[in-house]
Amino acid sequence: MKNAIIKIISKYNKDRTRLMDILIDIQTEIGFIPDYAVTQIAEDLHMSEVDVEQTVSFYHFFSLIPTGKYKIYLNNSAVSNMMGRAEVAATFEKELGIKFGQLTPDGQIGLFETSCIGMNDQEPAAIINNLIFTKLTPFRVKEIVRDIKEEKPVVEMFSASFGDGKNASELIRSVVSNNIRKIGPILDPNYKPGEAIKQIVKMTPTQVIEEIKKSNIRGRGGAGFPTGLKWEFCRNASGKQKYIFCNADEGEPGTFKDRVILTEFPRLPFEGMVIAGYAVGATEGILYLRYEYKYLEQYLEDILENARKKNYLGKDIGGKKGFNFEIRIQFGAGAYVCGEESALIESAEGKRGEPRDRPPFPVEKGYLDMPTVVNNVETLCSVVKVILHGGEWYKSFGTTESTGTKLLSISGDCRFPGVYEVEWGFSINDMLDMVGALKSETQAVQVGGPSGALIAPNEFNRILGYEDLATGGSLIIFGRSRELLNDVVLNFTDFFIEESCGSCSTCRIVPSVLKNKLKKILNARGVMQDIDDMVEWGKILKASRCGLGQTAANPVLSSIKNFRHLYEEKVQKNKVFDSGFDLSMAVKEGSEATSRIPNF
């Protein structure tokens, strides 16, 4: 085993910035990161053991203790619960005879929870040894557990046919479905790879940036920073090397559009990276891909290899002398916060994914302290279309403030969950019609995932766009039967507690305080003051360093704003104060420890 570790470390030239890759390879090879691996890495990479350990402990898919030959990660997102996760989870526990977070006594099978894995349109879903299993049912779980006990390889456990489109291709072979429901310029099936590269070699980098600026395209991750401006800043920044990052760490619960793009149109974002590289003068690009999409690795590597063969990547691209650009894939290891650009860069450098203080912004000082552009997958796809058809053409879609189209990941209580490409300016009402959700049956829509807003029917006429409802594209529909506070707000708050990097005390503490208050209200012990307290406490989160912390109270704040009656009907009207303290519960453990029966 030790030799295997040494081999892995040398494969990455004992480069400290490749720690993520080293750890991923060891985790894959051995099943966990043993003590002696930590020691070996620390020695070879000239870093302290705690530095190695703190990176290991940061990521959900790394473990310092054995996690079994078969590792089952069942998604615990709100939509997964809505689609029957409870029965699936119970069946896993019953069939395996263990609880979540445990290993079977023989050490062969581990059962774990995980945050949204980008399969919201086909829940409940799980990852077993890097392969995705969708639409699980108790019956399917029994089959899977039986196969595992027979020690079948995981690839042979699929019983259903492969998913649609490229999911069935030789290099993916996955049961995941694309569910593309509506196509537009980005999802246009007539796209010809390489065309845009032929275009840009005829332009100067500045002309490319001008064209992008003309299109008014803004970042598709949710924050909406103008892309052309970002590129220009990076181009003008000084640094001997510059980098282009494609952010494919879509971790916002309910988002899965990047997965579909990378499955059906992977050449688009890669081409977008090449264009960005040309425009800002970068020769290296990194696709930062979330670990949950590890099953796409071979396929994407193959696409890159083909691009190299066709001279769309590598040296003298498109026949233009000195136009060099190379792309590598960097996997994450399960951390939502790494979708934040500076945390993503930290992670790609082999560190904990903790957001950096800004300024300096990545365009000045990013990856390895060099000027770096970080763009969302979808942004880079749009860029290709802008180059092909022009900024003016692009502006013909959408609204003045929000040009172009947006890929929406729609899930929840509707007939046709999936990916829809619509023009910005689309209203929530139209969206509900489009996906087959009855307005009379719809209680709420979560726009932009947990960090976004929970919208009530009286606001369904609002539109998607940077001027109104800015979103990275996650839309979750909740029907009348859903208990919004318990099924949604509590689940989302748990998500933020789980995914906080722990750096800012606000984000580390306040979401837990809010959760306690929420549970108190759900337990019928709340009073009016608790609702007001939550609003006040929630404001403190604005002091956090990154977007995750700043929005961690949004599930609570936005539901109080739009659904205050749900809170008010649960609080006690005859009391102004209730601490929620329950003496009989508090003395339970103490009575048992001393074999006494409390008598108050």
Partner 1 sequence: MSKPVIATTSLAGCFGCHMSILDIDDRILELIELVEFNKSPIDDIKKFTKKCDIGLIEGGCCNSENVHVLKDFREHCKILVSVGECAIMGGLPAMRNGIPIKECLDEAYLNGPTVVGNTEKIVPNDPELPILLNKVYPCHEVVKIDYYLPGCPPRADLIWDALTALITGNEMKLPYEVVKFD
Applying CB under 8 A, the residues found at the interface with partner 1 are 577, 579-581, 583, 585-596, 598-600
Nearer Cβ to partner 1, position 436 or 590?
Answer: 590
Question: For residues 314 and 352, is the Cβ–Cβ distance under 8 A?
Answer: no
Is 314 in a helix, a strand, or coil?
strand
Nearer Cβ to partner 1, position 11 or 596?
Answer: 596
- The CA-based dihedral angle spanning residues 161, 166, 171, 175, taken in that order and rounded to the nearest 10 degrees: -30
Minimal distance in Å, beta carbon 558 to partner 1?
Answer: 27
Q: Where are the alpha helices (DSSP H) in 216-340?
A: 227-236, 257-264, 267-280, 297-309
Nearer Cβ to partner 1, position 190 or 581?
Answer: 581
Minimal distance in Å, beta carbon 596 to partner 1?
Answer: 6
| Tokens (6 digits) for 310 | 């066709």
Dump the DSSP string for 33-47: --HHHHHHHHHHTT-
| Tokens (6 digits) for 409 | 């990941």
Minimal distance in Å, beta carbon 112 to partner 1?
Answer: 23
Q: Which of 487, 540, 486 is nearest to 513 (CA)?
A: 540
Nearer Cβ to partner 1, position 3 or 594?
Answer: 594
Nearer Cβ to partner 1, position 321 or 583?
Answer: 583
Is 74 in a helix, a strand, or coil?
strand
- The helix or strand, by DSSP H or E, that contains position 434, with its residue range, turns out to be helix 428-435
Nearer Cβ to partner 1, position 264 or 530?
Answer: 530
Minimal distance in Å, beta carbon 101 to partner 1?
Answer: 18
Residue 154 DSSP symbol = G
Minimal distance in Å, beta carbon 587 to partner 1?
Answer: 4
Is 464 in a helix, a strand, or coil?
strand
Q: Which of 232, 174, 185, 190 is nearest to 208 (CA)?
A: 232
Nearer Cβ to partner 1, position 152 or 588?
Answer: 588
Minimal distance in Å, beta carbon 514 to partner 1?
Answer: 16
Q: Which of 40, 115, 58 is nearest to 351 (CA)?
A: 58
CA distance readout (Å), 529 to 483, 485, 517: 22, 17, 10
- The helix or strand, by DSSP H or E, that contains position 408, with its residue range, turns out to be strand 405-412
Nearer Cβ to partner 1, position 502 or 590?
Answer: 590
Nearer Cβ to partner 1, position 97 or 590?
Answer: 590
Sign of the alpha-carbon torsion through 500, 501, 504, 509: positive
| Tokens (6 digits) for 398 | 């959408």
Nearer Cβ to partner 1, position 106 or 589?
Answer: 589
Nearer Cβ to partner 1, position 309 or 575?
Answer: 575
Minimal distance in Å, beta carbon 592 to partner 1?
Answer: 8
Nearer Cβ to partner 1, position 328 or 596?
Answer: 596
- How many angstroms separate the CA atoms of 92 and 470, rounded? 38
Minimal distance in Å, beta carbon 381 to partner 1?
Answer: 49
CA 7 to centroid of chain Cα atoms:
31
- How many angstroms separate the CA atoms of 403 and 425, rounded? 9
According to DSSP, the β-strands at 284-289 and 326-331 are: parallel
Minimal distance in Å, beta carbon 583 to partner 1?
Answer: 6
CA distance readout (Å), 257 to 220, 454, 546: 11, 20, 23
| Tokens (6 digits) for 226 | 């103008």
- The CA-based dihedral angle spanning residues 156, 159, 165, 170, taken in that order and rounded to the nearest 10 degrees: 20
Minimal distance in Å, beta carbon 578 to partner 1?
Answer: 9
Minimal distance in Å, beta carbon 576 to partner 1?
Answer: 9
Minimal distance in Å, beta carbon 516 to partner 1?
Answer: 10
Residue 201 DSSP symbol = T
**Exposure class string for 391-424: b at 16+ Cβ within 10 A, else e:** beebbebbbeebbbbbbbbbbbbbeebbbbbbbb
Nearer Cβ to partner 1, position 190 or 599?
Answer: 599
Question: For residues 44 and 8, is the Cβ–Cβ distance under 8 A?
Answer: no
Minimal distance in Å, beta carbon 66 to partner 1?
Answer: 25
Q: What is the CA radius of gyration of the chain?
A: 25
Minimal distance in Å, beta carbon 522 to partner 1?
Answer: 18
Nearer Cβ to partner 1, position 238 or 579?
Answer: 579
Nearer Cβ to partner 1, position 569 or 592?
Answer: 592
Question: For residues 333 and 23, is the Cβ–Cβ distance under 8 A?
Answer: yes
68 class by beta-carbon count within 10 Å (0-12 exposed, 13-18 middle, 19+ buried): buried
Minimal distance in Å, beta carbon 575 to partner 1?
Answer: 10
- How many angstroms separate the CA atoms of 288 and 477, rounded? 29
| Tokens (6 digits) for 342 | 């500076």
